[in-house]
Amino acid sequence: MKKLNEMKLTMESRSVNEGFSRAVVAAFAALLDPTLEELSDIKTAVSEAVTNAIVHGYREQSGPVFLTATLTDKPSVRIRVRDRGVGIADVAEARRPLFTTMQGERAGLGFAVMESFMDRVQVRSAPGKGTTVTLEKTIGGKRHDG
C-alpha cells in the first residue's frame, strides 16, 4: 500500500476544534473522491475521536490534540487522533457500549460509533501518558493521484 499524501494538525483541546478537525479531514479525504456517505462516516468518526480526546483525555485541563491523516492507493484514509491526557486504564472496558468516565453527562457510545462508521478502529493507551485512536476506511470512489 503506497502513501499518496499525508497531513498533520495540532490543535488545542477546545470543543470548538472538534468541528474544525471534521472539516479539515473531510477536505483532505475528498482528494480520494469518496461518496457523500463515506465522507459523512469519516467526519462522524473523527468527531467522536477528537471529542474523546478533549472531554476524556484532558478532562478539566487543556493540552494538545494531534491529528494525522494519510491517504493511500488502496484507496483508503487512515486517521490518527492522539492526546497526552490521562489515558485509559482498561481499553477493553472503555470500548464497551455505555461505558463512560463521566456519569450522567455522556452516553458512552464514542468507540461504538467509530466502529460502526469505519472499517478498522485501534485504540492504544497508557494511564498518565495519553491515548491514540487510529481510524481506517477504504474508499470505494475512484482514486486521484494528484
Positions annotated as catalytic residues are 48, 52, 106
Residue 144, pLDDT above cutoff 60: no
Pick the residue with more confidence: 106 or 2?
2
Confidence of residue 143 (pLDDT cuts 50, 70, 90): very low
**pLDDT value for 65:** 98
The residues facing 8 across adjacent strands are 68
**pLDDT value for 80:** 98
**pLDDT tens profile 97-139:** 655 655 555 556 778 889 999 999 999 999 999 999 999 999 9
H-only helix segments in the chain: 16-29, 36-52, 91-94, 110-117
**pLDDT value for 89:** 85
In angstroms, the CA 106 to CA 96 distance is 14
**pLDDT tens profile 12-63:** 999 999 999 999 999 999 999 999 999 999 999 999 999 999 998 998 899 9
Task: Look up residue 74 and give its three cell numbers.
Answer: 488502496
**pLDDT value for 142:** 46
Give the CATH superfamily of 3-138. Answer: Histidine kinase-like ATPase, C-terminal domain (3.30.565.10)
Residues 131/59, Cβ–Cβ less than 8 Å: no
**pLDDT value for 106:** 52
Identity at 25, one-letter amino acid code: V
**pLDDT tens profile 56-97:** 899 889 999 999 999 999 999 999 999 999 998 877 777 776
Peptide bond into 75 cis (omega under 30): yes
Residues 91/108, Cβ–Cβ less than 8 Å: no
Burial classification of residue 13, based on how many CB atoms lie within 10 Å of its CB (0-12 exposed, 13-18 middle, 19 or more buried): buried
**pLDDT value for 98:** 57
**pLDDT value for 118:** 96
